[in-house]
Structure formats: structure tokens, C-alpha cells
Amino acid sequence: MSDKNLKSKLIEWKENDWNIPEEVNKYELALELMDGLKSTDPILRDELSLSFLWTVIDEEMLSKSEVSNLLKLALSEEHLFHKLGSIEDDSVFNRSFTALIIGAMIGYHNDMLEEEEQAILSKTEVVEAFHKVMEYFKKERDVRGYVDVKGWAHSAAHTGDTLANFAVCIELDKEHMLEILEGIREKVTIDYYVYKNVEAERITSTIMYISKRDDINDEDIIEWIRSFNDLEQPKDNPQYHNFIENVKNFLRSMYFRFKVKGVDSEILNEIEKVLNKINERFNKFI
């Protein structure tokens, strides 16, 4: 099927609440639409390919083995690791939207366990996926949000969404959660780009899920927050200003999210201390 005909069919099915004809092989189409995640056409990539993949996973239109095979493909050099390290080229769309699909599969797996259904993925598959997503998260350098004409790239936000699903996994333990926290600290303190498309809020959601886990206590979160005091600040501009803006925006997002959720005041106090230290040069003018 040509791209034009495929797009037309997808639009028709989406307008019909993804009521896809029985004769259509959902798995084969899912494999085809993994390539749609590479597209620079934001309609085909985001509104159609992503939406279809999300729907067939969430609505249980794929078998257990098909979801497992789709996860393997997503984690491959063809998708999540495709041209990883490239900056400001079109390969980011493939990686970033693949990260979202991985999150959808992990979320589906979590939901099935919560409903006491049969596990979709084995513990080995979940742990392997976690390590690969963390590797991707740490190495992805193209963190642009919205790209003119081509639409959302948003790799940091998308991976934040996926890590939020991993934060719920019963197959993962405290050490995995601490690894997520370390990865987030590294990603939100970059000095080569200023996040401006609510990346901080999306990533903060992951922190909230981690903080709810039984194997994570307030002191773990407080110790991690304190670690922001130990970061070496860039000496040159604009790197210094990029770094400061990213750190402050993230800590503020986290502060107000924790405050809304009514968490222990010690966590809020610790965030305030870190922010006040960063803002020391301005606070003296009060």
C-alpha cells in the first residue's frame, strides 16, 4: 500500500474510532507503521501511526507474542538506537516516538498484572527493555521540542513518559529507581539547550511515581535532591544560563507537584534550599 493510500485508510479508521476491518492483519500493519514513526509528516507519524500503535496495544488487538516481538523491534538499531547521537536531523522522530511506543507496551503489561491477568512480558524482557531505554535516555542529544513544519520531536518528554511506566513495574527494584533518578538529574541539567516545551513537567511525573513506591522512602528523594548542590556549573555563556534555567525550571516543577500532592514538608524544604542556593546572587537584592 502506498503512503498516500495508507494515510487515507488510517484517517478513515481513526475517524471511525479505530474500528478496523476484520480482514486487516493488525500485527502486520503494526510492523508497517513502526516505519511511520520515522516520517517527517506529523500527521502520519503522530496522529496516525502512533495513535494506531497505541490503540492496538491498549485495546488488546495483539497477542502476547506479537507484543513481545514488537518490543524487540522497537528496542533495535532500526528504531530506538537509530543514528543515536545525531543532532538536529530527522532521525530523532524515529527514536523519540519509538520511546513512546515502548512506554505503551510497558504500561499495557503493568495494567494486565494489576488486573491479575497473565503477564504480557517476562521479567527478563522488562529488565532488558529498562536498561536499553536508560541507555537511550542518557545518550540522546537531540532534545528539541517542537520542530517547525515537522511537528514534535520531544525526546526528553517522551522518554519521561516511558520512564513513568517503568517506575510502576513490579519487576524493577530500588536500584533501578535510583538509576532513573540519576539519569533524570543528568538529562535535566544539560547546558546545550534550554527546555521550553513542558519537558520538566513530563519528567516530574516520573519522580512522582517513583516516590510512591514502597521500596523508596522520603530520605532517598531528599538525598537525590541534595545531589543537585554538587553539580559543577558551566563557567561560560550561554552554557551557564542554559544550565541554570533548566535546573531551576525542573526543581520548581517538582516543588509544586509535591506540594499539590501534600508530601512531607522535608522534601519541599530541601528543594527550597537547593533553589535558594542557585538563586543566591539574586536573593540578596530582595
Is residue 253 scored above 90 in pLDDT? Answer: yes
3-state secondary structure of 133: helix
Mean pLDDT throughout 36-45? 96
CA distances from 192 to 169, 250, 264 (A): 32, 16, 34
- Cα separation, 231 vs 36, whole angstroms: 39
Give pLDDT, residue 235: 93
pLDDT grade for 3, boundaries at 50, 70 and 90: low
Give pLDDT, residue 286: 59
109 Cβ contact partners less than 8 Å away, ≥ 6 residues apart? 67, 119, 120, 121, 126, 169
Give pLDDT, residue 8: 92
- Helix-strand-coil split of the chain, %, nearest 5: 65, 0, 35
- Cα separation, 215 vs 210, whole angstroms: 9
Q: Which of 164-173, 230-239, 276-285 has the highest mean pLDDT?
A: 164-173
CA distances from 80 to 85, 176, 266 (A): 11, 20, 38
